[in-house]
Amino acid sequence: MGTGFWAGIVIWLISLAMAIPFITQWWWMPDPITALGREIDRAFMWTLIGTGVIFILAQATLGYAAWKFGRRSGARARDMHGNNKLELIWTSAALVIFVALTLAGFSVWAEVRFIEQRAADPTPDRLVVEVTGQQFVWNMRYAGEDNKFGPVDFLQADDAGGNPVGVDRGHPDGADDIMVPEMRVPVNKEVELILKSKDVLHNFFVPELRIKLDTVPGLVGKLRFTPDTVGKYEIVCSELCGLGHYKMRSFLHVVSAEDYDAWLQEQAEFL
Ligand SMILES: [Cu+2]
């Protein structure tokens, strides 16, 4: 048993240890709560299966080569000049696999990214929530009874006074806007998020939705999702945004339509 044999064994063991968490999925993503999320998971699984099979084959071969051709006493190393045919084969194989995976996942990706283009439907029945990231909280704004967001005036921003983004309360559109620290949406209804930042880069991320987007000062980002499972899900900031980044979290409550209406009414009464 030479060094090569043990090198081969170590390579196999390390590869196996790395593959185990993926095969057993013992520390996995939470279940998705949107149809799109399930599609993303499907694309993810195909990518994982494709790359996983190649990984196992490549490591198995590497271990075998280390074992078979490892250092032996008296043997001399041989000079090699590559093999164009083999290079060509594995480069084109990799190209085909990557292009195929990209094409397979493209529609899902486009669904999330090209939101404006598919927004052409004339009667959008969506709940619009404005989300403003701020060191180190999330501010959610609902348009209120009139369904119109009031204008924002930064001079009126007042964190302690419950008006962190500076909604113009004197304006009729702004008088009924609702500001809350946690998001509540009715189940099976399309939600559109308007993402903004008050200070630095943040990133709005709900693992169960499988979507995330940076909030950028001065820019407006948009995300859409239709949750189909009632529950409480964590909203996290996934862009390092300062010392309190780790505690910049909130919750997305997906509730029944009745519960949502009751909650909205309750919030309006606080105004
Ligand atoms: Cu942040």
Tokens matching residue 247: 């505690």
Asked if 163 contacts 153 with a C-beta cutoff of 8 angstroms, the reply is no
Q: pTM for the whole thing?
A: 0.83
159-192: pLDDT as tens digits: 888 899 999 888 888 888 999 999 999 999 999 9
How many angstroms separate the most distant Cα atoms in the chain?
91
Distance 178 CA to ligand 1 centre (A): 22
More confident residue, 253 or 154: 253
pLDDT at 259: 96
238-247: pLDDT as tens digits: 999 999 999 9
Distance 200 CA to ligand 1 centre (A): 8
Asked if 234 contacts 253 with a C-beta cutoff of 8 angstroms, the reply is no
Distance 247 CA to ligand 1 centre (A): 9
Domains, the chain, with CATH or none? 3-69+86-113 (no CATH), 122-270 (2.60.40.420)
Question: Ligand 1 being an ion, which residues bring their Cβ within 5 A of it?
Answer: 202, 237, 241, 248
